[in-house]
Structures are given as structure tokens and as C-alpha cells.
Amino acid sequence: MPGISGGSSSQKITNSFSAIGNGAILQSPDSSAFNIYSLSVVATGPVSLWRVVLEVSLTGDEGTYSTILTHTQGDISGSTFFTGPNFYPAFFVRARVVSLSLGLGTSIETTILGDRP
């Protein structure tokens, strides 16, 4: 079950994955696009392999999402990646698990923050 929260300029969504697929979509609550983002992935147990991408879209239609960040098992579980000074205006944001091998783990949890500075 995704969790969505945030203040007036930022919004956060959290998803749990035990298989590949798209997470719930974080949509800008008004006509102001998000510009900057962060992505964190936390493994539950000793997950063998994951590749999670953060995707953004102007329309939210399938096939219109572009990857702007990638988080893999080579990165530390719980580490957060940021888009930095680059702006990526978009109204829709999601995590997509491209590959996942749980091994002895049970799931991964992704957290996305979209903000408008």
C-alpha cells in the first residue's frame, strides 16, 4: 500500500516491492510541476539484487516516462540519491523495479520525494 505525504511544495510516496513492476504514481497536487527529486531504496533482509529507476512524466500516460535516477544493489541499502542542481519538470513521478532477486530477503521499499523549490 503506497503512503503519500508532504507539505505544500513537496510530496513523498513510499512503495514496497516483492517483484518487478511499477510503483504507485506520485502526482503533483496542483498545476505546479515538481522539479527536483530524491530516491531511497531499503532492502528488507539480505536481498541479492535490485535495480530501481525513478521515472518522471508530463502527462502520466504509459510510455511517456523517462528515467532520471537509478539505484542498484551496488549502492548501500537506505542510501538516498538526489537529482542535484538539475531540474526535471514533471507532474507525475514513480519508482519502477526493473530487476529484483530477493535471495533470503523479503522485499525492498522505495521512497520518492518530489519538490518545487
Residue 21 has pLDDT above 70, yes or no: yes
pTM, full prediction? 0.89
2: confidence class by pLDDT, cuts 50, 70, 90:
low
Distance, CA of 93 to CA of 40 (rounded, Å): 14
- What does R_g of the chain's alpha carbons equal in angstroms? 14
- Region 92-107 average pLDDT: 97
Element housing 17 (H / E) = strand 10-17
Residue 31 pLDDT class (50, 70, 90 cuts):
confident
Structural domains present in the chain: 3-115 (2.60.120.260)
Q: What distance in Å separates the CA atoms of residue 46 and residue 31, rounded to the nearest whole number? A: 41
